[in-house]
Amino acid sequence: MLGPALAVSAVLFAIGVLGVLVRRNILIIFMCIELMLNAVNLAFIALATVLGAAGQIIVFFVMAVAAAEVAVGLAIILAAYRHKETINVRYFNLLRG
């Protein structure tokens, strides 16, 4: 039963990577990053049958990081939107000198 769960996890991760590379909307990119984190969580839960409780503990920490990412990421997106009035990544060059 380990194989199908890891296959679904790999497909979800690949969709997330593809979304980050192809999309220009910063909110879609943000959701694709969350999709990748959830794919990793699925893989850890699937591997918890082999790893025991260690896989579930790692999932807990990944979820804590994802929650912190949502708080900080949405604040950055909101600040960038207020500055540029768009959420298209093409127009963000805020770090250029």
CATH number at residue 24: 1.10.287.3510
Residues written for the chain: 97
97 lies in a domain? no
**Confidence category of residue 83, pLDDT binned at 50, 70, 90:** confident
CA distance 5 to 76: 34
52 lies in a domain? yes
Q: Quick one: how far is CA 39 from the chain centroid?
A: 9
The pTM of this model reads 0.80
| Total tally of structural domains belonging to the chain | 1
96 lies in a domain? no
15 lies in a domain? yes
Q: Quick one: how far is CA 14 from the chain centroid?
A: 11
Span of 10-24, 47-61, 62-76, 80-94 with lowest mean pLDDT: 80-94
Average pLDDT, integer, range 44-62: 83
**Confidence category of residue 65, pLDDT binned at 50, 70, 90:** confident
71 lies in a domain? yes
Contacts of residue 93, Cβ cutoff 8 Å, sequence gap at least 6 = none
51 lies in a domain? yes
Expressed as residue numbers, the domain containing 10 is: 2-91
CA distance 35 to 41: 10
83 lies in a domain? yes
Closest CA to 35 of 11, 57, 59, 51: 11
Collapse the DSSP code of 88 into the 3-class scheme (helix H, G, I; strand E, B; otherwise coil) and give the result.
strand
81 lies in a domain? yes
Answer yes or no: are the C-beta atoms of 17 and 9 closer than 8 Å.
no
